[in-house]
Structure 1
Amino acid sequence: MTSKILKERYVIQKQLSKNAGRRTLLARDLHTQELVAIKLLIFGEDFHWDHLKLFERESQTLQLLSHPAIPRYLDYFDVDTPTGKGFALVQSYIPAKSLEEWLKSGRTFSEAEIKQLAKALLEILRYLHGQQPQVIHRDIKPSNILLANRSGNSVGDVYLVDFGSVQTLAARKGSTITVVGTYGYMPPEQFGGRNVPASDIYSLGATLIYLATGRHPAELSQGNLQIQFESIVNLNPDLIDWLKWMTQPSLNRRLASAGEALKALENPRQQTDMSAIRQKPFGSRIELKEDGENLEILIPPTRLTFWSAFWILIGTLFCLGLVLLPFISIILLIKTRLKSIIFVMLFSFLTVPFGGLGFAILCGGGGIATYFRATKINIDRNQISVTHLWPWYKCQVAPIMNKNFSNWSMYIRHSMAISRQDKYYETMGISQLTPPEIEWLANEISAFSGGQITVVSADTADSAVMRYNKISLL
């Protein structure tokens, strides 16, 4: 196709790359005399309809982006080639070599250069993930990162290209999911079709590990799906910990956003503190299960101790006395003389307050129910549901059917409630949780949803609130 002119405007110079159903060409724009990159999608033997969906999505996304480190959208038109008809996407050409090419040519990267690259790419991701709707690249790897103008101690200009796998939240609504990406750089949830900002964080971490080791992530050993690389690199322990945090296989243990990753990289002490928050509090019996599509939180019944059993017994006896008081009084009045009325009145004055005390003992601190009932909270792409699990039956609380989850709060301590704007969902009597458990749960749900969650004081002194603001689970 050398020297051919497309649309009577773009003169083809050479072919840059080729893969299934696609080709990327270097051309000169006769109107501006600038070099441009043209992506061709041809309806040939290798064509699949998913290719067209992704091709059009790349074009639509680039039109909305404006960043010096991202190719600019220039044109889109039909083409007719000897091998078939198709479409052409024209974007600005960046004259730079990819990290893959630099590595194959023998270039190595120092720890300082790896950090510079990390910061530059995280700033790009912060821009992409900050769009409305969010833009998830889904294919961050060395061949899609360009590097130019290296000088002195500077790693040079960094660019992120090839948005052929991009996904936006808008594109996911009411559509089928196409699993795309590159093995070795894809996080586990991406294999299941779920992508959140933290998915790009994983891919970037795997790319940086490739720069540090010179080996493809798929060639490195794994332990519990975690890439094992620390034994073959000579890096600062803080940077090693940060890279391991970036590539945590579980979403709820990985850095959740580009901003969070930048803060952890620039402040290792904060990184340690944040990592500690992500660890399950010692002695906690809460169970978490996350498969990329659903997050399930199981809060078991409060553990029954000797003293709690003692006070439950006392409270039960006092309440029993309150219930039996009318019957005892009637029997005494019938079988005794009138002077026994004084005794009945005295008995009543003593039993009523003790009965009230017993009732307070049984209902205080979340109630006696917390010793027999577990609570399961399930969060997925469509709703949040709460189910109480009794030994003999289970009761599901009405779920919140709101895919955006804007302005809703979850109150957890002695009791639990979920509220959203004008609606209020009372779930009652959840097991008593400690402040570290509340903080931990807030971080786990934040990591799963990709939203920002803070823990604040509730209206009552012994309660805490996990407040969610503008979270999207799509």
Structure 2
Amino acid sequence: MTDKQMGEQILQRYEVQKQLGKKAGRKTVLARDSQTGQMVIIKLLSFSSDFVWDDLKLFEREAETLKSLAHPAIPSYIDYFEVEEGSRSCALVQTYIEGQSLEQYMQTKRLFTEDELHDIAEQLLQILIYLHEQHPPVIHRDIKPSNIVLVENSKDEIGKVYLVDFGSVQTLASKAGKTVTVVGTYGYMPPEQFGGYATPASDLYGLGATLIALATATHPADLPQKDMRLEFAELVNFTPAFIEWLEWLTEPSADKRLKTPMAALQALLTGQMRSDGDYTAIDTISHSAIAQPINSTQLFWETVWRSVVYGGGMVTLTAGLYTTIWAPGIGTIFGGYVGALLGIPLGIVNGILIALITRLFFFPLKNAYLYRRVVNMTSAIFSTASALYYFKALLYNHANVNIQELLFLTVAPSLITALCMGVASRSIVNFYENRHRKIRSQRFYSYFQAQEEE
């Protein structure tokens, strides 16, 4: 059937541009509204030979649900009518969102960073909060990359995320969310959904599985599993807190999973860790727990004092302990003195270097993993090189230096120095990441307060 014939079969008001999808008894097309000129999506359900009444029930439920919703990240209901020409069918018209689905990004093998997934998760959780707080709650039941559209922008942010295709939607009007219609997509469905049950936690599983798929460019059904849990941690370079959060979302048991999108959003933005595997309550965040964005002066002060105290202090201590092996007593004092002469200036310069890197390239923090790697690598290279130069200069004042002395009095102390400065660098990174996380939590607090006021 040509586009022209397809357009004639719908209504003259809607001019079909192209077919977007097709499966048994269903068709999705992109059309132009001749009255308004806007592009729309039209979903068609055909009363063909393979038609089943459950399909019509879901189709009508999708139309009624979209009609009752009003959210900027959800397609808006436009029209619903029957088509009489040819094979009888129903048509649902909704707004068109011009963007790419996350499934299309996966097909290009794009891997999303931890911070990009943070942004996607935040936006989707806010959509789910809206849906689940409807009366009765609206459960999407089919959250997956192909049902999430991303509209990118020219800025550094990930862009705007939209949740589409409410063809599997269910309302929790029935007791315990029980339904005889099992819908969803294998790999993104939690175990309870196979039994016809769906709760707000079921959508959270789909969200977690979606984020894991975006992180690995692999559909969850193709990932290894252990005790029905997705094994993905070895495939990603994420912070332990984010990995645990994803594991929390995708717990096979609904009782051990995060219960609501509000709880999931709080856990994401505040670094909330699960203690006993269960989390049901929302603990509001006090203003005292909220940090203000760090400025350049605070940044340089924090990096320098941490580098001097932690890094320089450990260099002094380890140098004293190291020389104790050679000459206890006086050697310990001498080693500590030599270590302090290196550690304190090295700590100052190392702190300034990290502050400059942070201020120039990671201010504000966009990619926590890359920041950690860059800081640790830079500090290790700089500290090792500086220590080698320092200890070789001391050693070369003496004649007849052999290989063993070069190894134990130059190479080994230099590596130990680098490890000590690494402790300081990790302290700086942890501080900056924690401040960044608290600033994120402030966004949650503001959002939570706005929800409470509404």
Match of 1:45 in 2: 49
CA distance in 1, matches of 2:16, 2:259: 42
CA contact (8 A) 2:109 2:217 kept: no
Q: Following TM superposition, by how much is the alpha carbon of 1:13 offset from its aligned partner in structure 2, in angstroms?
A: 1.0
1:59 aligns with 2:60: no
Listed as ranges, the matches of 1:141-290 within 5 Å are: 141-170=144-173, 177-268=180-271, 271-272=272-273, 274-276=274-276, 278=278
- C-alpha spacing 1:277/1:254, structure 2 compared with 1 (3 Å): closer
Q: Taking structure 1 as reference, are residues 26 and 219 closer, same or farther at Cα in structure 2, changes over 3 Å only?
A: same
The 1-side partners of 2:252 and 2:166 are apart by 24
Once the 2 structures are TM-superposed, how far is the Cα of residue 171 of structure 1 from its aligned partner?
6.2
Q: Is the 8 A contact 2:110 2:217 kept in 1?
A: no
Contact 2:178 2:197 in 1 (8 A): no
2:123 is aligned, of 95, 116, 120, to: 120
- The structure richer in helix per residue is 2
Q: What's the TM-score, normalizing by structure 1?
A: 0.56
Taking a change above 3 Å as real, the CA distance of residues 175 and 85 of structure 1, as seen in their structure-2 partners, is farther
Query: Partner letter of residue 221 of structure 1?
Result: P
- 1:8 is displaced (CA, Å) by 2.7
How far is 1:173 from its partner?
Answer: 9.3
Q: What letter matches 1:49 in structure 2?
A: W
In structure 2, do the counterparts of structure 1 residues 229 and 173 end up closer, same or farther at CA, with 3 Å as the change threshold?
A: closer
Q: Which residue of 2 aligns with 1:101?
A: 104
CA distance in 2 between counterparts of 1:206 and 1:236 reads 17
Query: How far, CA to CA, are the matches of 1:133 and 1:208 in structure 2?
Result: 27
SS at match of 2:36: coil
Determine the C-alpha separation between the residues in 1 that align with 2:39 and 2:159: 21
**Structure 1 SS opposite 2:275:** helix
Distance 2:50 2:161 in 1: 32
> Does the 8 Å CA contact 2:251/2:257 hold for their aligned counterparts?
yes
Q: Corresponding residue for 2:83?
A: 79
Once the 2 structures are TM-superposed, how far is the Cα of residue 137 of structure 1 from its aligned partner? 0.1
- Separation (CA, whole Å) in 2 of partners of 1:218 and 1:77: 37
Q: CA deviation at 1:31?
A: 1.2
Q: From the superposition, tell whether residues 38 and 173 of structure 1 become closer, same or farther in structure 2 (CA, over 3 Å).
A: farther
- Partner SS state of residue 66, structure 2: helix
Rg larger for: 1
Aligned partners of 1:122, 1:236: CA distance in 2, in Å? Answer: 20
Looking at structure 2, the residues matched to 154 and 176 of structure 1 have their Cα atoms a distance apart, in angstroms, of 39
Residues 207, 176 of structure 1: CA spacing in aligned structure 2 closer, same or farther, 3 A cutoff?
closer
Could you say what secondary structure the match of 1:170 adopts? Answer: coil
Residue correspondence of structure 1 range 237-386 to structure 2 within 5 A:
237-268=240-271, 271-272=272-273, 274-276=274-276, 278=278
Residue aligned with 2:173, SS: helix
**Partner Cα distance (1:156, 1:81) in 2:** 41
Tell me the distance in 2 between the aligned counterparts of 1:139 and 1:87: 22
Query: Structure 1 residue 169: deviation in Å?
Result: 1.7
Q: Where does residue 7 of structure 1 map in the other structure?
A: 11
RMSD: 1.8
Query: What's the offset of the Cα at 1:64?
Result: 0.3
The 1-side partners of 2:3 and 2:174 are apart by: 36
Render the CA deviation track for 1:383-432: whole Å, top value 9, x for unaligned.
xxxxxxxxxxxxxxxxxxxxxxxxxxxxxxxxxxxxxxxxxxxxxxxxxx
Task: Output the amino acid matched with 1:93.
Answer: Y
Structure 1: tracts of 5 or more residues without a match: 280-474
Partners of 1:172 and 1:90 in 2: CA distance:
31
Q: Give the structure 2 partner of residue 36 of structure 1.
A: 40
Normalising to structure 2: TM-score of the pair? 0.59
What is the alpha-carbon distance in structure 1 between the residues aligned to residue 240 and residue 176 of structure 2?
42
> Secondary structure of 2:135's match?
coil
* Larger strand share, 1 or 2: 1
Q: Could you tell me whether the CA contact under 8 Å between 2:14 and 2:33 is conserved in 1?
A: yes
- What is the CA-CA distance between 1:278 and the residue it aligns to? 2.7
Name 2:28's counterpart in structure 1: 24
Shift, 1:263, TM fit: 0.5
Letter in 2 for 1:75: D
In structure 1, distance between residues paired with 2:241 and 2:176: 39
What is the rounded CA distance, in whole Å, between the counterparts of 1:60 and 1:175 in structure 2?
A: 19
> Residue type matched to 1:32 in 2?
T
Do the aligned partners of residues 255 and 175 (structure 1) sit closer, same or farther apart at CA in structure 2, a change above 3 Å counting? Answer: closer
Counterparts in 2 of 1:175 and 1:53: CA distance versus 1, 3 Å: farther
Amino acid corresponding to residue 13 of structure 1 in structure 2: Q
Match of 1:110 in 2: 113
Deviation at 1:58, TM superposition (A): 0.2
Identity of aligned residues (%): 55
CA distance in 2, matches of 1:206, 1:105: 19
* Kept after mapping to 1: 8 A contact 2:256/2:277: no
Shift of 1:155: 0.6
Q: Tell me the CA shift for residue 176 of structure 1.
A: 5.2
CA–CA distance in structure 2, aligned partners of residues 212 and 150 of structure 1:
21
Instruction: Give the secondary-structure state (helix, strand or coil) at the position aligned to 2:98.
Output: coil
